[in-house]
Amino acid sequence: LVEPGFYKFGITQHIYSRLQTHKRKLNFTAIVHIFKCVSRQSSFRIEQKFKKFAADEGILVRKYNQTEIINTNNPQKYVDWFAR
């Protein structure tokens, strides 16, 4: 959670350094969920599919000079999308 209603998503191979960077730059207040993927390639494919889904849903926004931000009051709906 970056601010009420705005959530950052993305992929990384180095979760701890990524979280430190996001904390410093975005000052997030909570982590909703972290998924472990079997490979970087599968992570990238899932991220691309989610970006398209989020754009189609009208929740993908550009904010904080970032492109992987969604605007929603129901983050669980999107966590469930990833978990399916």
Whether the predicted pLDDT of 73 surpasses 90: yes
CA atoms of 56 and 48, how far apart (whole Å): 12
pLDDT at 56: 95
34: tokens are 């972290």
pLDDT tens-digit series, residues 12-66: 889 999 999 999 989 988 999 988 888 989 999 999 999 999 999 999 999 888 8
Q: What is the pLDDT of residue 58?
A: 95
What is the pLDDT at residue 32?
92
Alpha-carbon distance of 15 to 11, in angstroms, equals 8
* The pLDDT value given to residue 52: 94
